[in-house]
Structure 1
């Protein structure tokens, strides 16, 4: 059970990291190193801090993932990562500041991902693989 707790924490953190970095990078214009000045950096301080927060979220997610790998078999743990694909899509569609449209094919893909994770994680599949 502890492995699933750490897995959920890892998935939520990596989802949050993706959303933070997307929002932050959307606020910052394409810059070159030559154009970086203190005034420009102060103008985009909040988006840069949000991007750094996203990177920090990735680091925390990796730390949680180490605990997942200690507590779950890889065949049970790895499918959990794909849940972040579904969560990022749902958040990007539902949260107004991302303004991404819902699409039938993408929504179907998310449902297939969720079904696949459920199928891989189901007890019937685990019993069948142990027997055979």
Structure 2
């Protein structure tokens, strides 16, 4: 196992946590207040089941992202690994703006902000130049 394994695990964590955030937002924007879930289930109203299923899958993806994250921490320095989590901001922003059903918009300033975050991740994780010493 190597540094590459750490990057793969960290990026897996990013993908899972981004999917989880989008899934939770999608489900919660369609579900009634949580106290109404039990009433609907007790009344055998199955109309909430698909959205509760998405919510459950999103929570599971969140838990799996933590397992990937713990694995990434074994192989990467914390500063590099933690910066990779910032990629999730970009993915969630783009997903919420581009996927149907979220209704969020792209804007110049948001996009520039996300671009700066990605530039920071690249700067932190780019190979370091070696200094030739006599």
TM-score (norm 1): 0.88
Equivalent position of 1:4 in the other structure: 7
* Structure 2 counterpart of 1:69: 73
| Structure 1: 5+ residue stretches without partners | none
List aligned pairs for 1:1-132, cutoff 5 A.
1-32=4-35, 36-37=39-40, 38-39=42-43, 42-124=46-128
Greater helix share, structure number: 1
Task: Answer yes or no: is the 8 Å Cα contact 2:72–2:81 preserved in 1.
Answer: yes
Q: May I ask how many residue pairs the two structures share in their alignment?
A: 127
Moved more, 95-104 or 78-87: 95-104
Please give the TM-score of this superposition, normalised by the length of structure 2. 0.86
Superposed CA offset, 1:7-42 (max 9, x none): 111000000001111111111122436962423652
Question: Once structures 1 and 2 are overlaid, which stretch shifts more, 90-99 or 30-39?
Answer: 30-39
**Structure 1 runs of 4+ off > 3 angstroms?**
none
Unaligned runs of 5+ in 2: none
Q: CA deviation at 1:111?
A: 0.3
